[in-house]
């Protein structure tokens, strides 16, 4: 009898975990579709390596010509114009940019959550983490307290 109850509890826990996994998968597909639609419209993330680098030759002075260890790199100056132009690991940057875009979108939605909480309530119900609401009132529970 005890083993039957334990088996039922294990089955219920497995069903809850499966339901949460299905919800999270559906949520990730929605994000993927939204990002693909934005990319199709020509959206460029602010975190992508954009801009260009300009190589400016330095004027040779008497102090630099007296150095015996002057190299070709010391005679040039590289100016990076734009944001994040010094990344050369493109295959790693693409993975980082996908994750960073997701985090930046969540940060951007915090303002909307404060103005219209009912707009994003369904999205936060799908997340398996507590929601921290910011207000000027006295807190009734800490952010790590789990009200269950």
Average pLDDT over residues 113-135: 67
Tell me, yes or no, whether 54 and 44 share the same domain.
no
Provide the domain count of the chain: 2
H-type helices in the chain, by residue range?
2-40, 62-66, 90-115, 121-126
What distance in Å separates the CA atoms of residue 109 and residue 147, rounded to the nearest whole number?
24
Range of the domain at 63: 50-86
18-69: pLDDT as tens digits: 888 888 888 888 888 887 777 777 766 555 445 555 677 777 655 544 444 4
Tell me, yes or no, whether 106 and 123 share the same domain.
yes
7, part of any domain:
no
13, part of any domain:
no
């Amino acid at each position: 009898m005890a083993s039957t109850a334990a088996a039922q509890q294990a089955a219920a826990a497995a069903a809850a975990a499966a339901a949460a996994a299905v919800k999270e998968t559906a949520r990730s597909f929605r994000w993927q579709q939204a990002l693909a639609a934005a990319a199709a419209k020509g959206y460029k993330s602010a975190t992508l390596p954009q801009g260009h680098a300009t190589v400016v030759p330095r004027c040779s002075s008497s102090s630099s010509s007296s150095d015996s260890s002057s190299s070709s790199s010391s005679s040039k100056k590289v100016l990076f114009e734009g944001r994040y132009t010094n990344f050369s690991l493109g295959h790693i940057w693409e993975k980082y940019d996908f994750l960073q875009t997701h985090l930046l979108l969540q940060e951007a939605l915090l303002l909307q959550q404060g103005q219209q909480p009912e707009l994003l309530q369904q999205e936060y119900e799908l997340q398996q983490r507590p929601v921290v609401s910011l207000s000027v009132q006295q807190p009734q529970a800490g952010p790590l307290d789990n009200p269950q």
